[in-house]
Amino acid sequence: MIEIIPAIDIIDGKCVRLSQGNYDSKKVYNENPVEVAKEFEANGVRRLHVVDLDGAASHHVVNYRVLERIAVHTSLVVDFGGGVKSDEDLKIAFESGAQMVTGGSIAVKDPELFCHWLEVYGSEKIILGADVKDYKIAVNGWKDESACELFPFLENYMGKGVRKVICTDISCDGMLSGPSIDLYKEMLAKFPDLYLMASGGVSKVDDIVALDEAGVPGVIFGKALYEGHITLKDLRIFL
């Protein structure tokens, strides 16, 4: 059964969503992300994906206090990303209660440091973020496209011990237009041992069913929940 991972994206300490990573499209859904996390937990959710969008934009962790409060007030297993660019950022994330940390831009720009984290903390705690646009990896809060092609990028890091990957198709993110199932099938065909968490585009329960049937291990989504296209009650069949 596919793992259900709701997302909480944070700007100015508030729970927000963007469309295709565009900060100008920001919509605030709740002033208090802890309330949102507690409601998820009360409905049987066990995992949470927290993104520090301020951190992603400013290249260092910013909203760690929110992470800390979620960790203190819930027992959710949290993975945290956004602005984790140094040993200090990583330390702050883990000390603030993250059980896992996602590195995206850092894996492109400073592979040596990312591999060091992988060695020190292990593949259970360090997740590779692969944010994709037309099969190329995007960096810096998706504002820039890198020269890295998706499949060689994955092959390289799996060879270095990566086992968990969050893959967001940027063209789908926040658009409620359905996930990139063909892309995920292609990834799993090439890397069957990959613990792939699909992110972006989920608009209804049928999308989650389709990802599950495609063999995708985990799904991350937010806007569909916040906009009421999926209810927490709908998710009970997966929990």
pTM score of the predicted model: 0.94
- 207 noted as active-site residue: no
**Do residues 93 and 67 touch, judged by C-beta distance below 8 A?**
yes
pLDDT of residue 177: 85
The per-residue pLDDT for 99 is 98
pLDDT tens column, 185-229: 999 999 999 999 999 999 999 999 999 999 999 999 999 999 999
Q: Alpha-carbon distance 221 to 78, whole Å?
A: 14
Catalytic (active site) residue 131: yes
Q: Of 131, 169, 173, 207, which is the active-site residue?
A: 131
Residue with tokens 């496209």: 145
**pLDDT score of 21:** 81
- pLDDT by residue (tens digit) across 18-75? 888 888 889 999 999 999 999 999 999 999 999 999 999 999 999 999 999 999 999 9
pLDDT range class, residue 88, cuts 50, 70, 90: very high
Q: What is the pLDDT of residue 143?
A: 59
Query: Can you list the positions of beta strands (E) in the chain?
Result: 3-11, 14-19, 22-30, 47-52, 77-81, 100-103, 126-133, 136-139, 144-149, 164-169, 195-199, 218-221
Average predicted confidence (pLDDT) for the chain: 94
pLDDT of 173: 75
- The pLDDT score that the predictor gives to residue 76 is 98
Decide if pLDDT at 87 tops 70.
yes
pLDDT tens per residue across span 133-176:
889 998 865 556 678 999 999 999 999 999 999 999 888 877 78
In sign, the C-alpha dihedral spanning 239, 9, 27, 144 is negative
Q: Which residues of 189-216 are buried (b: 16+ CB within 10 A; e: fewer)?
A: eebeebbbbbbbbbbebebbebbbebeb
